[in-house]
Structure 1
Amino acid sequence: MSSSWNSVGLEVLYQVLGWVAFFAWSFSFYPQVLLNYKRKSVVGLNFDFLVLNLTKHSSYLIYNAAMFFSPFIQRQYHDKYSDKEMIPVAANDVAFSLHAVALTSFTVFQVFIYERGIQKVSKVCISITAVVWTAAIVCLIIAWPKSDWLWLIDVFNSIQVGMTAIKYIPQAIMNFRRKSTIGWSIGNILLDLTGGVLNFGQMGVQSIDQHTLVNFYGNIGKTLLSLETVFFDVLFIIQHYVLYPAKKDENGKAIISERVAPLIRPSDKPEEDNV
């Protein structure tokens, strides 16, 4: 039988932090979607980021849903880490993952219907994505005969960690080359940072109550996810507000620099500033 909470207060705090993080992370997808809709353009949003992000959230959904809903996998988890340990996935984790896949897919859909200039998915991104999903299928074939499902979903957890580590890099490089963050929503980043900090705090509350750090290394994916999120979000905040603040004309419209112009077709309308 799994462990229960020792403190009602800490349990309530755990749930509050988890759901606030869920709403912050969930709403973080909307500023970019609204910005794309407002501009009728996805110029400035890196397509490699979108593809890697969809792979990341799909993998994370598989891990969270399997761990949360499967009694068999939960038994395997307890056999590995002890019956006293709590399952490291909460309902808000599953809800977030499901929502993230849906919103990321919708953002990909926007790429096909809005102006995208000369931007396209790179061959490197396509290769990485193909290798990752091929490896996942191979791991499924290996796990199936032995019913080693905990190992398999840990593979998907590792995939989402890896994707989180690299998915922001194309966008950060694009911002650096353009010397601009126009087209990349800072609202997304601020909410994402809030979710990452609260998610890490949620795990800390559970550790304090259980007097153990198992939930950190027993769900290393969630731990690294929070740390990676905070690191890259701080980087984007520095790019947006310090390194490449948008210059505006007398009407408050963002001025497109010469570095941004090569991504845009001559027929494109001037871009508006970030949401």
Structure 2
Amino acid sequence: MASWNSVPLHVSSEVLGWIAFISWSISFYPQLILNFRRKSVVGLNFDFVVLNLTKHSSYLIYNCSLFFSSAIQKQYKDKYGQKQMIPVAPNDVAFSCHAVLLTALSLFQIAIYDRGNQKVSKVAFAIVIAAWLTAAVCFFVTLHNHHWLWLINIFSGIQVCMTVIKYIPQAVMNFMRKSTDGWSIGNILLDFSGGIANYLQMVMQSLDQGSWVNFYGNVGKLLLSLVSVFFDILFMCQHYLLYPTKKRKSETSPRPDNAKPLDRSSSENV
């Protein structure tokens, strides 16, 4: 493992990494708590949850493989340079494990709580099946040629694709409903903080090494941050600007024609 050249940059990277881990890890809980309090998952898009589970499972495989496997680390260094640091930190592995567990818990809530008329779309099912079939084919190919770094990059690519796709159903659902009710903004704010911290952690490592291999050597982690931040900003705009709470309340407040008969007659006499 390559060593750090600057203690301040090393410390900064570690701090940012754990800020990202804590922010991303806590970001799962507001939605879970909201579902529990409402005993309902209406407003939470099920496609998002299913795609998110595939995304985090793929990311877990990538992180654990690159962090624990000496054979894969050797292939990484052979490709990008012997002095390059492995771009997966302990907080990445810890986050992935936690994310898979909490996303599975979200699916359990979907199974037991009020769902209204919502269901997982056939498109989401098809995407998930296609992703895992691709991974299975690549795995059997790798058993023959032992290109393990190539294989885990396939999993990284899957998680990037899932990251890009998974937010779209929820964003469209919010737009169609003209509301973010049932979708926790706390999740988004924490996810946004984690994305920024994760990106800055990669910057610290690149500055220390005097190389940007850390970015294109781990494209999945880079795109994970950038895509997450983009959609987080979109959701914040939906929640605070397009469909704010006051506006939703005013739109759902009783109209004059819904008033009691006594009030209508009184107004007509006036």
- TM-score norm. by structure 2 comes to 0.91
Which residue does the alignment assign to 1:270? none
Give SS of 1:182's match: coil
Q: Is 1:181 matched with 2:155? A: no
Deviation, structure 1 residue 247: 3.8
Deviation, structure 1 residue 150: 0.5
Deviation, structure 1 residue 246: 2.2
Q: Is 1:106 matched with 2:105? A: yes
Which residue does the alignment assign to 1:64? 63
Counterpart AA for 1:25? W
Which residue does the alignment assign to 1:228? 227
Which residue does the alignment assign to 2:169? 170
Which has more helix, going by share of residues?
Answer: 2
Matches within 5 A, 1:71-86: 71-86=70-85
Q: Distance in 2 between matches of 1:242 and 1:216?
A: 33
Which residue does the alignment assign to 1:40? 39
Give SS of 2:245's match: coil
Query: Relative to structure 1, is the Cα distance of residues 66 and 36 closer, same or farther in structure 2, using a 3 angstrom cutoff?
Result: same
Q: Is 1:18 matched with 2:17? A: yes
Q: Distance in 1 between matches of 2:101 and 2:250?
A: 33
Matches within 5 A, 1:227-246: 227-246=226-245
How many residues get paired? 253
Structure 1 gaps of 5+ residues are 259-275
Q: Distance in 2 between matches of 1:178 and 1:246?
A: 13
Which residue does the alignment assign to 2:195? 196
Q: Distance in 2 between matches of 1:54 and 1:212?
A: 33
Structure 2 gaps of 5+ residues are 254-270
- In our comparison, the structure showing a higher alpha carbon Rg is 2
Report sequence identity in percent: 64
Deviation, structure 1 residue 256: 8.3
Q: Distance in 1 between matches of 2:239 and 2:101?
A: 27
Which residue does the alignment assign to 1:128? 127
- TM-score norm. by structure 1 comes to 0.90
Deviation, structure 1 residue 111: 0.3
Aligned alpha-carbon RMSD (Å): 1.5
Query: Relative to structure 1, is the Cα distance of residues 156 and 255 closer, same or farther in structure 2, using a 3 angstrom cutoff?
Result: farther
TM-superposition CA deviations, 1:146-200 (whole Å, max 9, x none): 1111100000000000000010000000000000000000000000000000000
Which residue does the alignment assign to 2:218? 219
Q: Distance in 2 between matches of 1:257 and 1:60?
A: 42
Deviation, structure 1 residue 8: 1.0
